[in-house]
Amino acid sequence: MSVRERKFFVGGNWKMNGSYESIEAILKFLTEGNISHDTEVVVAPPSAYLAHVRQKLPNNISVAAQNCYKCNKGAFTGEISPSMVKDVGAEWVILGHSERRNVFGESNELIGEKVGAALEEGLKVIACIGEKLSERESGQTNSVVQEQLAAMAAHIKDWSRVVIAYEPVWAIGTGRTATPEQAQEVHAFLRKWLSDNVSLSISQQTRIIYGGSVNAANCRDLAAQGDVDGSLVGGASLKPDFVTIANACQ
């Protein structure tokens, strides 16, 4: 039985990968892989496959969009809306991912608005934050993640539908994972920020997960940290290793 204060949470971000054919293999290990009931699992396929993946997966695995816009309809070519994500049956959306911030230039302000719009529509949000290598090396980690989190928090009324993902940019897709101690240090800082700026009970209840080159070999050491409530997994979420990572709480 799990002795965790907060339910372990593992997200799989497939990024811009997959085809009907390759997704079959992922669906197979997700459905046949004996994932622990102690873990809440959410997978995020590309938007083109959201409805397909939702229809194919059992209900104990939730589905997330990797992004959505802040409006429900209109002249926003190329975007998908919170209501569309909901309409195709997905329950979650990832917002503020570092690739959205750094490749597509999304600002803290826009991400905050998107978080507010997604929650308003009834979606749950995986809210991503994290510092770049230069920011870590110049001692700015805490101020960067605090600013990113504050921009989102301003739009959050119901924290029970939010999971915070701390994802240092230098660890995403690089094979360079934060050490369990580095992750714990930032997670503890974020929890204290929630306690000081939102409330003690929200700080105790909100899941803070780690992302950045999590794999089958390092997932348990990360999960053993007191303030690490799971992981957001990119590359390894496309492989059967994802089941091992989802079961890292055991």
Annotated active-site positions, please?
97, 167
- Of the candidate spans 50-58, 70-78, 113-121, 234-242, the one that interacts with ligand PEP by CB under 6 A turns out to be 234-242
| Residue 64 near ligand PEP by CB under 6 A | no
> For ligand PEP, which residue of 13, 39, 47, 184 counts as binding (CB under 6 A)?
13
The answer for residues whose C-beta is within 8 angstroms of residue 219's C-beta and 6 or more apart is 231, 244, 245, 248
CB of 214 to ligand PEP, least distance (A): 5
Check residue 213 for interaction with ligand PEP (CB under 6 A).
yes
Only segment of 112-120, 146-154, 208-216, 238-246 that touches ligand PEP (CB under 6 A): 208-216
Helix (H, G, I), strand (E, B) or coil at 65: strand
CB atoms within 10 A of CB 77: 5
Using CB under 6 A, which of 172, 183, 208, 238 touches ligand PEP?
A: 172
Residue closer to ligand PEP (CB basis): 54 or 100: 100
Residues 6+ apart with CB under 8 A from 222: 177, 180, 183, 210, 214, 228, 231, 248
Select the residue interacting with ligand PEP from 10, 162, 214, 222 (CB under 6 A): 214
Give the per-residue contact string, 67-106, with ligand PEP (x = CB under 6 A; - = no). ----------------------------------------
Spell out the residues 6+ positions from residue 196 whose beta carbon is closer than 8 angstroms to its own. Answer: none
Any idea which residue has 């969009």 for tokens? 65
Q: Which residues bind ligand PEP (CB under 6 A)?
A: 13, 15, 167, 172-173, 211-214, 232-236
